Amino acid sequence: MALALLRHMRCLCTLPRTVAALQSSIDKRSYAERGSLERVVSAFRAVVGDDGVSLGAAVREQHGKDESVHSCQPPDVVVWPRSVEEVSALAKICHHHRLPIIPFGTGTGLEGGVGAMKGGVCFSLRKMDSVLDLHQEDFDVTVEPGVTRKALNAYLRDTGLWFPVGWCSPTAAWLPPARRAPTGRRHQVNLEVVLADGTIIHTQRSRKTAAGYNLTNLFVGSEGTLGVLTKATLRLYGVPEALVSAVCSFPSVQAAVDSTVHILQAGIPIARIEFLDDVMIDACNRYSALSYPVSPTLFLEFHGTERGLEEQVSITEEITQGNCGSDFSWARDTETRARLWKARHDAWYAALALRPGCRAYATDVCVPISHLPQIIVETKKDLTENHLTGPIAGHVGDGNFHCLMVLDPHDPDEVKRVHHFTERLARRALALDGTCTGEHGVGLGKRALLREELGPLAMEVMQGLKAALDPKNLMNPGKVL
């Protein structure tokens, strides 16, 4: 396996020229124009069966679009492998015939990451949905890419363990709850990856290691441009003895963020802390028939022992009141906590309901926590001046927030204004030592911003890694780089 991986590596000093030549030759024409596709469909069917291959227009369009505003770019064919062996066999066929490979999960990406920019083959991984190995004593589990957080936690229900975040390896995204637990990259101990030529590798076997490069983190967040992720070993955590949730409103964004900073500085092991601005709260009140004050609001959750939670809650309430926060709305039992969190969980649908018949598009950035008030205030001013609807929700414990843009996709002027707004938002974050995306990834939409963030030298290193692992540029071409 090590020798196989070495065969994919090239000397980095020669790679920029190699990448440029590679892009020049590939960008001239579509892969499908070579007539390769028709010759290999029968080979695909020999691997996954007739029901594992589709050339239907509706199916291809479904797999050429995510939740972003980018137009649909359907693949030439969709295949549904059921095992790593089938993924490997399909990849070898594509590699031989120079057909692009576009890994596809659920299609919920937000930056055009699944569009088949040069045609090719969509590898839909939804049939790979098994929990494979559970090691309770080691606090880890191995799953296939089609396993959801809900399905995994249902599987773990009687073990005393749980997986506390929504995981998405291609973009390293994570969903609440997750302030105490490590971010998406840290949750994944080992990956099984199929490279562009069908070679199968494992990135790491031990939970902790100093042996060699960190290949796990290389592939996490690569957005399908380096390989197809077919298995992930995930860290698990003990189910807490007690959970308490709370909602608190504030007179300003500054007061809400100051409370967040002070809570973290006090060393309170808060499980999750979420922020909704006044526009988002108003939308949630209307959508879910709630009655929260229409002002910047924090949603908090604490995990731990009964005795420990009493202290956490007491200190947190003291901190928020010192920042002019309202009295807390507390919830302990499952039903009341679910009702309390309803506003945050329904934020997407509440935003959509502000303009019936329109579409929602979420963009995100991340900045140091100290800069959150400044960037949120400037962003809200930008939205108002450009007549855009964009409620804000964020994981303020990490400085990450999202604008849920609601727009009419048939209004070219509004689409253009949204596009320019998202670019200004990203550059605003970069100017504050932040990043153009904290969770959503680069995909098709933020490639130019990534270059601005990292600079040409870092980009050359990334292009070199891409050329070393995927010299024919077959893995999700046109994305990230």
Lowest mean pLDDT among 1-5, 205-209, 357-361: 1-5
Lowest mean pLDDT among 110-124, 126-140, 171-185, 188-202: 171-185
Q: What is the mean pLDDT of residues 157-163?
A: 93
pLDDT digits (tens, 9 = 90+) for 38-58: 779 999 999 999 999 999 999
pLDDT digits (tens, 9 = 90+) for 387-410: 999 999 988 888 999 999 999 989
d(CA 50, CA 328): 58
**Helical ranges in 289-411 per DSSP H:** 306-322, 334-340, 342-345, 347-353, 372-385
pLDDT of 8 strictly over 50: no
pLDDT of residue 36: 61
**Closest to 346 in 3D by CA, of 397, 288, 403, 404:** 288
Three-state SS at 426: helix
β-strand partners of 244: 302
pLDDT of 118 strictly over 50: yes
CB 342 within 8 A of CB 290: yes
d(CA 334, CA 101): 43
Q: What is the mean pLDDT of residues 160-184?
A: 51
Residue 258 CB partners (closer than 8 Å, separation 6+): 323
